[in-house]
Chain A
Amino acid sequence: MNRITVGKNFSEEVYLDSKDSKYYIEVEENASLKVYHYAVDKSFEVEIHLKGENASVEYFYSTLNRKDNYFRIKVFHDVSNTKSNLVNHGVNILDKKLNFVVDGIIPKDVVGCVCSQDNKIMNLCEGKSSIAPNLLIDSHDNIANHSAYIGNFKEDVLFYLKSRGISQKIATKMLTLGFLVHDLENEEEIKDFLKYIDELS
């Protein structure tokens, strides 16, 4: 298990190297954490605790998947006025399973939190995928929202790209890149992942 703690008043941005399959993350009072988690063909369990007031986390999980894999992430809003934003995107290349289980937990008496999730899986073939978004919220006065989409890139979008001479293969690569990579400024950090996208066919 890999532990990450962001101390009081700190603001951090991390790239997970995916060497471990379990991560335990704590964010303390007035601290913020941004996580970029790029993965290829692997399963993970992530637990996040927002432990002090005004703690916040943004988590970007991006995966390219060929085998059966899952991503399980839980965010605990342990105290009031904490914020989480999870963006979990997967591209399921073959006909295997990719499952996301995403929990946002706000216990009783905790208020003023924002808990949002955006879960999307693109099945390029006949892949079997599932998304289980769970918002376990015991009190009012919190803002929670989630969106979930399982499907493929839209036909209209592919048609538009192809109508400009771009082949299906390159169009799919471009859309995969746009869908999974949120931070091209740090190309060096994710060059292996970009290589995988480039090798897609």
Chain B
Amino acid sequence: MLVIKDLKVKVSDTDKVILDNFNLSINEGEVHVIMGPNGTGKSTLAKTILGHYKFEVECGDIEFYGKKLNSLSTDERAKLGIFLAMQDPTEIEGVSNSEFLRTALGEVSGSKVNLYEFITAIEKAYDDVSLNKDMLHRFVNKGFSGGEKKKNEVLQLKMLKPKLIILDELDSGLDVDSLKIVCKNINDYLKENKKASVLIITHYPRILDYLKPDYVHIMKNGNIKQTGDLSLASFVEKNGYDGINAVEERDLNE
């Protein structure tokens, strides 16, 4: 569903290159993980997939179901079914959660949202992620705790029903119980939507106890250096990213 080919991305209006020669393919129903040191370009990748204004694609392609995303606006990409749960969700003064979600749902589905169905669905979603329903009437993310913001992202994805879910450090800011809850929600979603795929960006293998990955990629200096299975995540946990070159050597020796 997602194919990224030889992607080079720089910070807009500068010469600073962040992703270079980046390649990644994700098929329907797969769970991928990207791990990598701070500042290596993981969030940049996630934002670039959604056409963030701060980043510019110098060359290479991003394709989603065969459609080139490069020239599409952010909302057009979202309408195709890509959802990014952000590392640091933005606070939006003056716009309530309910108005926001109802509008988003109308835009993504391309039809008018039935108010009764909307309220029923959203109240259930609040219960599912164990957030207080009063938050519906609060401004988007405004004054939410770190964990509440993350749960609010998962709530949105449950409502918007994307095909590709990108989770940028969903686990940071969530306590153990909350992490279990949101992962259960995502797993349930994947059970109901067998073709949906997930790209998890994380520093900690703990989230992988709940969301079972098919592939683990290690990213360093702007591209993927190594791909493996869950054991690669454990290896990094034990040896750090400095050990990644050693992994390559180890593989060579095998």
Contacts and interface: CB of A to CB of B under 8 A. Distances in A.
A179 B104 contact: no
A159 interface: yes
B53 A155 contact: yes
Interface stretch (A98-106, A140-148, A163-171): A163-171
Interface in A169-186: 170-171, 174-175, 177-179
Interface in B83-131: 83-84, 86, 89-90, 92-95, 99-100, 103-104, 107-108
B100 A168 contact: no
B73 interface: yes
Contacts of A167: 73, 75, 107
Given A155-B53, A159-B53, A174-B103, A166 B90 contact: no
B218 interface: no
Q: Which of A157, A160, A170 has the most CB of B within 10 A?
A: A160
Interface in A92-142: none
Q: Which of B50, B74, B100, B140 has the most CB of A within 10 A?
A: B74
Contacts of A188: none
A162 interface: yes
Contact of B160 (A160, A165, A170): A165
B52 interface: yes
Interface residues of B, number: 28
Nearest to B95: A178
A160 B83 CA distance: 11
Given A157-B90, A160-B92, A174-B99, A165 B108 contact: yes
Interface residues of A, number: 20
A141 B83 CA distance: 53
Contacts of A160: 86, 89-90, 92, 140
Contacts of B140: 160
A174 B160 contact: no
A199 interface: no
Contacts of B184: none
B78 interface: yes
B138 interface: no
B107 A175 contact: no
A177 to B, nearest CB: 7
Given A163-B50, A163-B84, A170-B103, A157 B78 contact: no
Given A155-B53, A160-B86, A163-B84, A168 B75 contact: yes
A174 B100 contact: yes
A179 B73 CA distance: 24
Contacts of A46: none
A185 to B, nearest CB: 12
Interface in B62-89: 73-75, 78-79, 83-84, 86, 89
B75 A162 contact: yes
Contacts of B54: 155
Contacts of A170: 103, 107
Given A159-B74, A170-B103, A170-B107, A164 B93 contact: no
Nearest to A167: B75
Contact of A159 (B52, B94, B95): B52
B78 A162 contact: yes
16 contacts: A160-B86, A162-B78, A163-B84, A164-B107, A164-B156, A164-B160, A165-B79, A165-B104, A166-B107, A167-B75, A171-B75, A174-B103, A175-B94, A175-B95, A178-B92, A178-B95
Q: Which 6 A-B residue pairs are closest in the complex by CB-CB distance?
A: A178-B94, A162-B74, A165-B78, A164-B104, A165-B108, A160-B90
